[in-house]
Amino acid sequence: MTQGRLVGRVLAIRLLLITAAVYLSPMNAQTRLTTSMSTSVMPPAGVGALVTWTGSATGSASGNVWYRFRVRELNPVSDVCHPKLLAFAPNCVGSQFAMIQDYGPGNSLAWTASDHEGSYEMEVSAVDNDTGATSTTTSVFQFLPRVTGNTPVINPTANPLVFLYSAPACPAGSTMRVQFQGPSGAVQSTNAKPCDGRTSMNFYIAGMLPQTAYNIQHVVQNGANAVSGPMLTQTTGSSAFTYSARTLNIPPAASLPSPMLLQARFGDPVATDLNGNILWYSIQSISNLSRPEPGGLFLGWWESSADDTAHQILEEFDLAGTVLRQTNAARVNQQLAAMGMHSINSFHHEVRGIPGWGILVLGSEERILTNVQGPGPVDVLGDMILVLDRDLQVQWAWDTFDHLDTSRLATLNDTCSAVNGGCPPILLAPEANDWTHGNSLQLTPDGNILYSSRSQDWLFKIDYENGQGSGNVLWRLGLDGDFQYLSSDPYPWFSHQHDANIDANSMLTVFDDGNTRQATDPTADSRGQAIQLDQVNMTATLLVNADLGNFSSALGSAQALPDGNYHFHLGFIQSNTATNDTTRVVEVEPSGQIVYDLGIGEIMYRSFRMQDLYTPPVLTSWIEP
C-alpha cells in the first residue's frame, strides 16, 4: 500500500467516527434526536466508484423522520471550491455544502465523485416531522485517482455502454476533452473541462454501439495549441436493453447534422443513431426524462398516483445513472406553505435547467371550485410554475389559479381521472377538469417564461424578468388570443400543442397536435410549425406548417436544426394504417417536405436531435458563455 493511500485510509476512518453535535429544536427541548451514518464500502475508493451512504436517526417516538444529504470537497490547499467543480459540477459552491438529496423519507444516497480525486465531506441531517427536532452528522470519504502514471486508463461502469476515461493532470489554464471514433469514422467528443495541473481528469464516455471497438484519446487545448494523448481502444459490451421495434420509413441522408436521437420514453430514456441502433440507455429509473443538459447531464421526474407527495421526485442524473440532485413535492410544499402559496400534487411534463444551475419545473395543483367550471363544487387541475435554485430551494412560484381566468374551460372539456393516463395524480375527487395541462416551459431570451397550456390551446408569456417580474401575463398566443395571424391557412392556429420554444429573433417552434382541428375534421393530421412573431405589433406569420401525415392525439416535440431543417416528434399515433408505428420522429425541410422518418412501436413523450450526448439543443443550454 502506498503512503498516500495509507494516510488517506487512516484519515477517512478517523473522520468516519466523528459525529457532529446534535441540534435540538426549541419546539421540544425534551426530544433528543441522534443521527449516525454508514457507508457501503470502507474508504478510500477510486474516482467513479459508487458508494451508498445510509443515515440512521434514533430518538424519534413516531419514526416520522426525513433525511437530507449534502456534500462538499475538502481542499487542503485552500478553502475554496475546486475550480473544475465550480465550473462544471452542481455539487460545489465554494466551501459550503451543496445539496444532493433534500429532506425526504429516503435515508440512503448512492453517490460518487466522478470528476476528480479528493476528500469529500458527506453530511446527513435528520428532522423529526412531528417534533421539529433535528440532528446532523458528517463523515469524510476519500476518492483516489484511477490513473497512477502518465498513461490514461479506461474503466467500466454498471452500464455496458458507458465507460470512465481517466487521464493524468493537465497544465492549469488549459482544457481537456476526450474524442472517440467507431467503425463509421464519425468522431464524437465530450465537453471540455478546465485543467488545474494537479488532479486527474475524468470523463464518462457514452454514445457507442454495443459490441463495437472504439478508438479513444484525449486532447489538451491551450489557446491555439492542441496536444493529443495516446490512442486507446475499448470494446463496448452487449446491450441488455429491451426496446420496441423501429421502422426506417425514410432513411437519413449520408451526412446530417445532429446525428443522434435522444428519446424520452415512458421509463428509461434511450439514445439511438438515426437508423434506430441503440447507442446509450439510462439505468436510472424515472417516469420521464425531460431535457438533456450540457456535459452529459439530464433532468427528469418520477410521478405516480400510487405514491404520496414525498415520493413524487424531481432529479438530475448523469450518463452513468448517478443522481446528482434530487428533491420531492412534499419538501417543495413546505417551502410553498412558508410563502403563503398552495401545495402541488407532483412534478410533471417539464423540468429544465436555467442559468446559475437553477431549475424551471412544472407542478400540478388541484382545487375545488364552486359554480365556476360547472354547477356546484368541481375538482379543477391547474399548474404551478416553480423556479428552484442550485440547492433545489424555491425562489419563485407562479400559480395558474391566481393569474388565469378560471371560468375559461378547457377547449375540449378535457378531464382527468386516477386511471386516465397523461394526467398528474389527482387527490381530491375521482375526476377533475383538466383545466390547463401545462406541458412545456422555457426561460425566454429576454428573461421571461413561455408556458404551454395544452387544454387552453394557448401559449402564455409570463413576466418573470429573471426573478424580478410581477408574474403578469404579457401575452397569449393561440386562437382568440392577443396575436393576429398573417396567414392564408384556414386554421393556422395550433391546438393541444407541445414543446414550444422561442429564440432571440422571436421565431417560435411548436408541435401542433391539432386536437381541436381534428374534433371537427377527423382527417386532420398533426403539424410541425415554425412561427415568426412580431411582439411589438402582435402579429404571427407561419414560416413552416408541415402536415406530418398522422394525427398524434398527445405528446410531441419540435426543434429547429442547425442546417435550417426541423425535427418533429409524433408521440401518440392511435391509428396508423400504413405502418404499426405508434411514434414517428421526422425531419422536415422548410417547404414542409419530410426527408427523414423513423417509426417506433411505443408511445413516447419527447425526442431530441443531438450532435452527441454532451451537447444538447441550443435552447436547452443553461451554462452562460
Which phi and psi angles does 550 have, rounded to 5°?
Answer: -145, 160
**Residue 84: per-residue pLDDT:** 43
The side-by-side arrangement of strands in the sheet containing 65-74 is 45-46, 134-144, 118-128, 65-74, 98-104, 323-328, 313-318, 297-302, 288-293
Q: Which residue has the cell 375526476?
A: 431
- Whether the CA torsion 425, 429, 432, 436 is positive or negative: it is negative
Answer CATH for 3-144 from 2.60.40.10, 3.40.50.10320, 1.25.40.20, 3.30.70.260: 2.60.40.10
**Domain limits of the chain?**
3-144, 153-235, 246-620
Output the pLDDT for position 93: 45
Which pLDDT score, from 0 to 100, does residue 624 have? 37
CA angle 288, 291, 297 (to 5 degrees): 100
pLDDT value, residue 577: 59
Q: Is the pLDDT of residue 265 over 80?
A: yes
Of 9-18, 119-128, 532-541, which gets the smallest average pLDDT? 9-18
Give the pLDDT band (50/70/90) at residue 405. very high
Residue 257: pLDDT band with limits 50, 70, 90: confident
Given this model, what pLDDT does residue 258 score?
A: 86
Residue 338, sorted as left (phi over 0), alpha (psi -120 to 50) or beta, turns out to be: alpha
Amino acid at 10: V
CA distance 108 to 92: 20
Q: Tens digit of pLDDT for each residue in 347-377?
A: 999 999 999 899 999 999 999 999 999 999 9
Say which range, 326-340, 565-579, 591-605, 609-623, has the weakest mean pLDDT. 609-623
Element counts in the chain: helices (H) and strands (E): 5, 45
Residue 154 and residue 162 in contact, taking contact as beta carbons nearer than 8 Å? no
Candidates 536, 506, 515, 529; CA nearest to 442 is: 506
The Cα 480–Cα 434 span in angstroms is: 20
Report how far residue 239's alpha carbon sits from residue 558's, in angstroms, rounded to the nearest whole number: 29
Measured CA to CA in angstroms, residue 531 lies from 129, 313, 506, 528, 625 at distances of 50, 34, 8, 10, 27
Judged against a pLDDT cut of 80, whether residue 202 lies above it is answered with yes
In three state form, how does the secondary structure of 88-124 look?
HCCCCECCECEEEEEEECCCEEEECCCCCCEEEEEEE
Beta strand spans in 151-224 (E): 153-156, 162-167, 175-181, 187-189, 193-194, 201-206, 213-222
User: How many CA atoms are closer than 13 Å to the CA of 348, on its beta-carbon side?
Assistant: 27
pLDDT of residue 578: 66
Spell out the alpha helix ranges (H) of 278-421: 329-338, 400-403
Least confident of 92-96, 269-273, 306-310, 508-512: 92-96
At 51-62, the pLDDT tens digits run 999 999 999 999
Contacts of 192 (CB under 8 A, 6+ apart): 175, 176, 177, 221
Amino acid 95: pLDDT: 65
Which segments within 243-391 are labelled E, that is strand?
246-250, 260-265, 270-273, 278-281, 288-293, 297-302, 313-318, 323-328, 346-354, 358-370, 377-388
pLDDT band at 285 (very low <50, low <70, confident <90, very high): confident
- State the pLDDT at residue 69: 98
How does pLDDT run across 133-142, given as a tens digit for each residue? Answer: 999 999 999 9
Rounded to an integer, what distance in angstroms lies between the CA atom of residue 470 and that of residue 135? 38
**Architecture field, domain 246-620:** 6 Propeller (2.120)
Q: How far apart are CA 77 and CA 196, in angstroms?
A: 12
* pLDDT attached to residue 576: 65
CB 551 within 8 A of CB 523: no
Percent of the chain with pLDDT over 70: 90
Average pLDDT over residues 582-608: 96
Alpha-carbon gap, residue 519 to 524, rounded angstroms = 9
Residue 422, pLDDT score: 82
Residue 614 in this model has a pLDDT that exceeds 70: yes
Given a cut of 60, is residue 591 above it in pLDDT?
yes
Contacting residues for 2 by C-beta, under 8 A, at least 6 apart: none
Average pLDDT of the chain to the nearest whole number: 90
pLDDT digits (tens, 9 = 90+) for 542-577: 999 999 999 999 999 999 999 999 999 999 998 765
Over residues 457-483, the pLDDT tens digits come to: 999 999 999 999 999 999 999 999 999
Q: Evaluate the omega torsion of the peptide bond into residue 183 and state whether it is cis, within 30 degrees of 0.
A: no
Lowest mean pLDDT among 21-35, 70-84, 177-191: 21-35
Rounded to two decimals, the pTM is 0.92
The DSSP secondary structure of 450-499, one letter per residue, reads EEEETTTTEEEEE--GGGT----EEEEESTTSS-EEE--SSS----S-EE
Mean pLDDT (whole number) for 431-445: 97
Gap between the Cα atoms of 98 and 111, Å rounded: 13
Reported as a pLDDT band with limits 50, 70 and 90, residue 420 is: low
- Cβ contact 358:299 at 8 Å: no
Reported as type and span, the H/E element at residue 10 is: helix 3-16
The whole-number pLDDT of residue 12 equals: 36
- Would you say the CATH fold of 246-620 matches that of 153-235? no
- CA–CA–CA angle 113, 116, 121 (5° rounding): 45
Closest by Cα among 417, 499, 489 to 454: 499
Contact between 62 and 127 under an 8 Å Cβ cutoff? The reply is no
Q: Alpha-carbon distance 366 to 368, whole Å?
A: 7
The answer to whether 320 and 114 are in contact (CB under 8 A) is yes
CATH of domain 153-235: 2.60.40.10
Band (pLDDT 50/70/90 cuts) for residue 15 is: very low
Would you say residue 452 has pLDDT above 80?
A: yes
- Per-residue pLDDT at 256 exceeds 70: yes
- 266 secondary structure, DSSP code: B
